[in-house]
Chains A and B, each alone.
Chain A
Amino acid sequence: MISVESLTKQYGRFTAVDHVSFTAAPGRVTGFLGPNGAGKSTTMRVMVGLTRPTSGRVTIGGRDYRELANPGLEVGVLLDASAQHAGRSGREILAIAQQTMGLPRTRVAETLARVGLTEDEAERRVRNYSLGMRQRLGLATALIGDPDVLILDEPANGLDPAGIRWMRDLLRGFSDDGGTVLLSSHLLHEIEVIADDLVVIGQGRIVAQGTKAELLAGAGTIVRTHDTDVLARALTEAGLVAHPVDGGLRVDAEPETVGEVALRAAVPLRELRGADGAGLEEMFLELTADTAREGAAA
């Protein structure tokens, strides 16, 4: 359980993180979503004691990160997969983590296997690794201590589709065992397939949070027809709100309601479905548009 309480971080007059509060719960994968520079990484660095907050605090399992006796055994952290010594082999980097945490040596080979790095790859120096391999190695460093909590900053970066699927299964299994997962991303599709809960951040502020199902439910219905204008009028008369989206309408209502309106107006439909991901994407763009960098002229 990660609890962020009114966290604020200022750099001079610039506020990178502005009174951010949220919780990542055990048994759930919490997605931390926001455009680049929104404050995700700063928030995560504060969580693990690398950055001092200006005010507010973060607790993990009710305690400050620095109060943990051997943090690697309780919290697995991956902040930047490229922050590894290029001259060390993958195995050596993992062995350093194993030795620091005081774990048995056998855990290195086990964990390498768990993240899908072969013996041969593990012997190579990290300067010869692809970003995807570095992510796997970084994830191995986070997992080797068998922690209850994972904090991962953009872990899907550089993974191929099969890699993303693998990571989703891994994190799903971890949270099904009761673990807490917080992962950040600036890509909605990436996080949509993995997360149970979403926290959306824009320019240092939380703009939305809730379960993925809830945020999706609010996104309405997509409907397409040849007579868009006629349907739009009928929907408005029925007291519903319709927004035009490429070649169709997004309606703030259930598909069934929209279908009934169309039937009464005798408008033949080409498509009628819950807005799902499309709605979430629109929401993400909408929610972050006014706080995205275009508007941040200082």
Chain B
Amino acid sequence: MTTATATPIPTTPPDERPARATRAIAPIPLTRLMGVELRKMFDTRAGFWLMASVGIVSVLATAAVIIWAPDSAIDQETFSSAIGFPLSVILPIIGLLSVTSEYSQRTGLTTYTLVPWRGRVITAKMLVTLAIGVASMFLALAVGAVGNLVGSAITGLDPVWNVTVTEFGQIVLANVLGMLIGFTLGVLMRSSAAAIVGYFVYSLVLPAALGTLAAFQEWFRDLQPWVDVNYATTRLFDSSMTAEYWQQLGVTTLVWLWIPLAIGLRAVLRAEVK
């Protein structure tokens, strides 16, 4: 019964292997993993067009504003809102797909075998996702600025630059939170279809339900800002934030984002990969 262990030793010359065993093997740096994850976001047809859609949507939204908006509305804020809305839908989906494709396409079997420290893979994915989110916002800003210049040239009015650095920062933050919500759904569901459905429930059904509740139930009206995460996040787009608003954002994201994210990350680290 133990022959499998006993017989082979003489068959291998003792001096044959050590030469290879002693070659220095450097650990895999996080930057390399980020490079790999970035590549994986673009290297399929579906992935490429999803990423390209960020640029395409920005240009289309800008064109729509130039064509249809009244002259008085041609200002930078109109452009950023027009671009920002569709992007706030696309970016979370990019975030969730970066996680779920490993499971739906079963590539995780190879990914987590080549890099058995799943926390590092997920960290690389998250950093790349956030970098894409921030880069997309700057792209949108640039496209919107060009749109504003072109639009003003057509109307013959002076371009109106009415988006402050603070406002832009808030918009970036709102989109980063949106991407993290997508990412959270990804690590919780680990299935593309389920996570996308979950995302639409989260971003469409939930706000409508809570809005209706607030409209008909007096007791809930004051409570909503503390419960409804979409409500609290949306204020980043169009309000100057007060201290209370920030607190409400903190409370709602803790419940709807940070705690579920922690649970999802724990599940990803522990779950069996098949």
Chain A interface (Cβ < 8 Å from any Cβ of B) = 22-28, 30, 45, 48-52, 61, 65-66, 68-74, 77, 79-80, 82-88, 92, 96-97, 99-102, 141, 148, 177-178, 196-199, 208-211, 214
Contacts and interface: CB of A to CB of B under 8 A. Distances in A.
Which of B11, B26, B101: most chain A Cβ within 10 A? B11
- 9 tightest CB-CB pairs across the interface, nearest first? A25-B8, A87-B44, A83-B106, A27-B12, A49-B116, A83-B109, A23-B5, A50-B273, A197-B4
Contacts of A99: 32, 35-36, 39
A45 B272 contact: yes
B159 to A, nearest CB: 42
Interface string B1-44: 10111011101110011001100011110001101100110011
Contacts of B43: 88, 92, 96
Contacts, number: 137
A48 B1 contact: no
A40 B114 CA distance: 20
B212 interface: no
Contacts of A25: 4-5, 7-9, 12
A208 B20 CA distance: 33
Interface string B175-189: 000000000000000
Interface residues of B, number: 45
B105 A86 contact: yes
B110 A141 contact: yes
Nearest to A148: B20
Contact of A210 (B3, B28, B40, B272): B3
Contacts of B107: 83-85
A25 B9 CA distance: 8
Most chain A beta carbons < 10 A, residue from B33, B45, B107, B110: B110
A73 to B, nearest CB: 6
Contacts of A27: 8, 11-12
